[in-house]
Amino acid sequence: MTRTIISLEERDKSWLERRARETGMPMAEVIREAIRRMQRAEDESFDRVLAATRGLWRKGDGLRYQRKLRQEWK
């Protein structure tokens, strides 16, 4: 594990200390959990976009179309 030093505003530090007390976790673990949650939310958001846009292209083979367009760039 890598050690990192961060600077927090006083109100954020107070919140972190309070959250650590309430959960019985060290402050570092509260921060690690927050990072993991942000990563999951980001991944889930990307997955939702993929699911919502799947199948929108209806003009044949999308890869063939991309290759044709890219040939024009040369």
How does residue 28 score in pLDDT terms, banded at 50, 70 and 90? very high
74 pLDDT higher than 90: no
Q: What is the 3-state secondary structure (H, E, C) of the chain?
A: CCCCCCCCCHHHHHHHHHHHHHHCCCHHHHHHHHHHHHHHHHHHHHHHHHHHHCCCCCCCCHHHHHHHHHHHHC
Residue 29: CB atoms within 10 Å: 12
Tell me, what's the pLDDT at 9?
A: 97
Instruction: Say how far apart CA 74 and CA 69 lie, in whole Å.
Output: 10
Tell me, what's the pLDDT at 16?
A: 97
Task: Note the pTM of the prediction, 2 decimals.
Answer: 0.63
For the segment 29-38, the average pLDDT, to the nearest whole number, is 96
Q: What percent of the chain has pLDDT over 70?
A: 100
